[in-house]
């Protein structure tokens, strides 16, 4: 397959369908925390995470695919991106559609970037961002995932000595508290190199393994942590 053909919306719908056919039960990050606490995770679990880095419009396409397939996911939303305004007329409609479809919405955090650029306390930025997102959508977010941007700073660093529960949250996307600890205990598959898949087995990268989701689900990993980005996918060509 031409490498970019794996990243059409049609292809990701087929690949997610392949995971369902292999018996994977999809869930949001919050439902994963609850299932883990209750000791009731399915034999084949797929935690379905979406980071909205650049395009809410494309996120709507992914949500529509999830809806057609009857699965749920967690969508992490940025609040300070140059690329989109979550409160623009169309994007707010999209976020309401995602919410009303029963998907989880979380905050795609850039609080370390904010603290340096604005000379403000990162914890204050986080509290304000959680309040704003909750108020905007009438929700109570349960999780945060840190965005890897272009500042050279690592938004994950904030969590080195801070617990999600200190902010009324259940989890951070890569946190290693026993309640979550997903990245290091799962088979993690991501499209974060754009038109190339990468994977980590229990937190260790399989450097040469560029197999797609569709190929990995044949392997029967009991717990898959899938991270995809709406911006990666397209109908006709990458730059549409
Ligand atoms: Zn991101």
Residue position matching structure tokens 């990468």: 198
CA of 56 to the centre of ligand 1 (A): 13
- Does the pLDDT at position 3 exceed 70? no
Q: pLDDT at position 6, please?
A: 80
Give the percent of the chain with pLDDT over 70. Answer: 98
Write the pLDDT tens digit of every residue in 209-219: 999 999 999 99
pLDDT in tens, 146-201: 998 778 888 999 999 999 999 999 999 999 999 999 999 999 999 988 889 999 99
**How much is the average pLDDT of 56-75?**
98
CB 32 within 8 A of CB 39: no
Q: How far is the CA of 233 from the centre of ligand 1 (A)?
A: 15
> CA-to-CA distance for 108 and 79, rounded, in angstroms?
8
Question: pLDDT at residue 48 above 80?
Answer: yes
Averaged pLDDT score across all residues of the chain: 95
4 alpha carbon – ligand 1 mean position (Å) = 20
Q: What confidence tier does 224 reach under pLDDT thresholds 50, 70, 90?
A: very high
Q: How far is the CA of 39 from the centre of ligand 1 (A)?
A: 30
> Is the pLDDT assigned to residue 105 strictly greater than 80?
yes
- Separation of 173 CA from ligand 1 center, angstroms? 11
Residue 114 pLDDT grade (very low, low, confident, very high; cuts 50, 70, 90): very high
From ligand 1's centre to the CA of 157, what distance in Å?
Answer: 15
| Contact between 107 and 134 (Cβ < 8 Å) | no
pTM over 0.75: yes
For residue 217, how far is its CA from the centre of ligand 1 (angstroms)?
24
For residues 119-146, average pLDDT = 98
Model confidence at 2, in pLDDT bands (50, 70, 90)? Answer: low
Task: Residue 194: name the closest of 153, 151, 229 by CA.
Answer: 229
Q: How many whole angstroms from 51 Cα to the centroid of ligand 1?
A: 5
Q: Return the closest-CA partner of residue 177 out of 189, 190, 167, 162.
A: 162
């Amino acid at each position: 397959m031409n490498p970019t053909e794996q990243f059409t919306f049609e292809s990701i719908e087929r690949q997610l369908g392949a995971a369902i056919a292999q018996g994977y039960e999809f869930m949001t990050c919050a439902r994963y925390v609850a299932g883990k606490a209750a000791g009731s995770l399915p034999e084949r679990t797929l935690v379905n995470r979406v980071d909205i880095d650049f395009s809410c419009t494309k996120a709507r396409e992914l949500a529509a695919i999830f809806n057609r397939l009857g699965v749920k996911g967690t969508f992490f939303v940025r609040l300070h991106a140059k690329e989109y305004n979550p409160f623009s007329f169309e994007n707010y409609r999209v976020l309401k559609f995602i919410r009303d479809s029963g998907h989880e919405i979380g905050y795609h955090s850039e609080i370390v970037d904010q603290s340096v650029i604005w000379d403000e306390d990162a914890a204050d930025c986080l509290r304000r961002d959680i309040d704003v997102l909750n108020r905007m959508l009438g929700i109570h977010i349960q999780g945060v995932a840190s965005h890897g941007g272009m500042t050279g700073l690592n938004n994950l660093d904030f969590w080195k000595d801070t617990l999600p529960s200190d902010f009324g949250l259940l989890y951070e996307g890569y946190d290693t508290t026993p309640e979550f600890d997903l990245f290091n205990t799962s088979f993690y598959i991501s499209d974060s190199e754009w038109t190339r898949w990468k994977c980590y087995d229990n937190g260790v990268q399989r450097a040469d393994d560029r197999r797609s989701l569709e190929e990995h689900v044949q392997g029967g990993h009991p717990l898959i942590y899938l991270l995809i980005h709406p911006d990666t996918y397209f109908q006709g060509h990458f730059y549409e």
